[in-house]
Structure 1
Amino acid sequence: MALRRALHFVFKVGDRTRTARFYREILGMKILRHEEFEEGCKATCNGPYDGKWSKTMVGYGAEDDHFVAELTYNYGVGEYRFGNDFLGLTLQSSQAVSNARRLGWPLTEVGEGLYLVEAPGGYRFYLLDKEQPKSDPVQKVCLATSDLKRSIHYWSSLLGMKVMEECVEKKSVLMGFSDTQCKLELQDIGASVDHGTAFGRIAFSCPREQLPDIEALMKKENQKILTPLVSLDTPGKATVEVVILADPDGHEICFVGDEAFRQLSALDPSGNELLDKAMAADKSDEWFAKHNKQKASA
């Protein structure tokens, strides 16, 4: 399955301004593209919401060869309840550690040369205090599982990931489609996985011709399909086809046709400006403060 590649993880954000500051000024990522939408996504990219929302892709480099973050912001939703499903994203960047110290962002040492920092809303990031590599600094995404053996079967036998490392002590496994990509770490938490309302989604690409096969295999194996194969239109950009799955613990997984996605995900030089413009135009925080109200909690 070497033609499959890890793309991004979707984070729901309640405070877009503070979140943008965290990714830009603490992690040192760039705004790769930004889009505004008037209604919910057919593939529920922004969660189970039908209203206005935005999508901002941030990362250390082009989406063709970097694992990035997709930040989805639902207008009017100020916070989301966390579960125990997302355990953290690990990246290598002494510059990010330095940025956090310099700007006074809370930083906790959790191991030798390893620091924990939280994005607004509570998402955990682990920073390796080593020089940022020229390749992708993002190393792995860690998700919880209630049954490690079952999860390994699903991700390896059904989705084609390679088992790269197992740790009996941590009850975890490191998996991936290739050595050069961001890896997926699964850790057995010995309890049911709770996704809260902040649940995210991990995305991968594959050749477009593989999408029907993935869907057919999941049907044959009686696995959950959240969104059957569907086309998503983005005005002025490529139309992509996706199928959304859920693993045995309910983690959402998106597979998208690689050929069209490479066109859709092209770097937009105006992304930074578009995000800043949207944040400036969003007066919702002021409105809620003026009326002594709080934004909805998802």
Structure 2
Amino acid sequence: MAESVPVVPSADLLEWPKKDKRRFLHVVYRVGDLDRTIKFYTECFGMKLLRKRDVPEEKYSNAFIGFGPEESNFVLELTYNYGVTSYDIGTGFGHLAIASTDVYKMVEDIRAKGGNVTREPGRLEGGKSIVAFLKDPDGYTFELIQRGLTPEPLCQIMVRALGMRILRTVDRSKYKYKLAMMGYADETATTALELIYNYGVSEYTKGNGYAQIAIGTDDVYKSAEVVKLVIEELGAGKITRQPGPILGINTKITSFLDPDG
């Protein structure tokens, strides 16, 4: 029997995200060689393989990997589809960022292991942080950011553009882009979402490599109602899976697309 969903007035719904204990759980993307990617992330980044499974009846394997347990840390879910060796990453997904106490040393270690460093360590013009950029074997970009010890080394997800709060905004008109950092807590203590708007660009290609970001919530039904309300208000976005349990596991989910797809 389907679970009944309580009807909640709109005003109460809009207050719900402020009370909900949310956090980013994981980001999902597809890779062409799962073992190769696991080896690169563990040896070059220092991540740990948390769990791995093979689902032959559905012709895919996946692995969860990160700097700490899934119960408390943001992690990566890597998916390998049988027989698919490469993906189109598209232009909408930007990069993931990793915090390090010594970016220079980390870059040299990664280079020694065959990593593709695309920007040497240094300060961005107009910025204060020391950063570097590199690509993994599938072409996904990672930013390395120098900062002190942090409980969440996997610190940023950058996409080009939910109950989050704006942590800070920056308008870099000289370079023709704006950025906003959004999240559920201070960006130095948890994973933040970095949104980039490039002047004059209104559309990006989605590709087929990046899949989704997962967010934890205390009540998936209430959260889905909030999403529905905001989608109706904006006239953009789409709920792709109604809230409900996943057969075989004690988890309830809903899925949706934001206005950029």
TM range (shorter): 0.7 to 0.9
Cross-structure match for 2:144: 127
Amino acid at match of 1:226: T
**Range with greater deviation from structure 2 (110-119 or 85-94):** 110-119
- Which structure's residues are more often strand, by fraction? 2
> Aligned partners of 1:53 and 1:186: how far apart in 2?
31
The two structures have a TM-score, normalised by structure 2, of 0.78
SS in 1 for 2:116: coil
Would you say the 8 A contact 1:28–1:96 is kept in 2?
A: no
Would you say the 8 A contact 1:65–1:136 is kept in 2?
A: no
Rate the CA distance shift 1:83–1:134 in 2: closer, same or farther, 3 A: closer
Pair 1:243-2:254 in alignment: yes
Q: Sequence identity, in percent? A: 32
Pair 1:114-2:120 in alignment: no
Amino acid at match of 1:31: L
Cross-structure match for 2:171: 168
The answer for unaligned runs of 5 or more in structure 1 is: 40-50, 146-158, 251-298
Pair 1:214-2:223 in alignment: yes
The two structures have a TM-score, normalised by structure 1, of 0.69
Select which of 107, 110, 124 maps to 1:100.
110
Amino acid at match of 2:43: E
Rate the CA distance shift 1:31–1:233 in 2: closer, same or farther, 3 A: farther
SS in 2 for 1:213: helix
> Aligned partners of 1:191 and 1:230: how far apart in 2?
34
> Aligned partners of 1:26 and 1:90: how far apart in 2?
14
> How do 1:47-62 and structure 2 match up within 5 A?
51-62=58-69
Pair 1:142-2:161 in alignment: no
> Aligned partners of 1:134 and 1:173: how far apart in 2?
21
> Aligned partners of 2:250 and 2:93: how far apart in 1?
30
Select which of 173, 181, 192 maps to 2:190.
181
**Range with greater deviation from structure 2 (221-230 or 79-88):** 221-230
Would you say the 8 A contact 1:97–1:129 is kept in 2?
A: no
- Superposed displacement of residue 129, structure 1: 4.1
Equivalent pairs counted in the alignment come to 220
Pair 1:89-2:93 in alignment: no
- Superposed displacement of residue 16, structure 1: 1.7
The answer for unaligned runs of 5 or more in structure 2 is: 1-17, 124-129
Select which of 40, 48, 52 maps to 1:22.
40
Would you say the 8 A contact 1:173–1:186 is kept in 2?
A: yes
Amino acid at match of 2:214: A
> Aligned partners of 1:242 and 1:229: how far apart in 2?
5
- Superposed displacement of residue 200, structure 1: 2.2
> Aligned partners of 1:101 and 1:246: how far apart in 2?
37
Select which of 236, 240, 250 maps to 1:226.
240
Deviation string, structure 1 residues 50-73 (Cα, Å, up to 9, x no partner): x31111000011112211110011
- Superposed displacement of residue 114, structure 1: 1.2
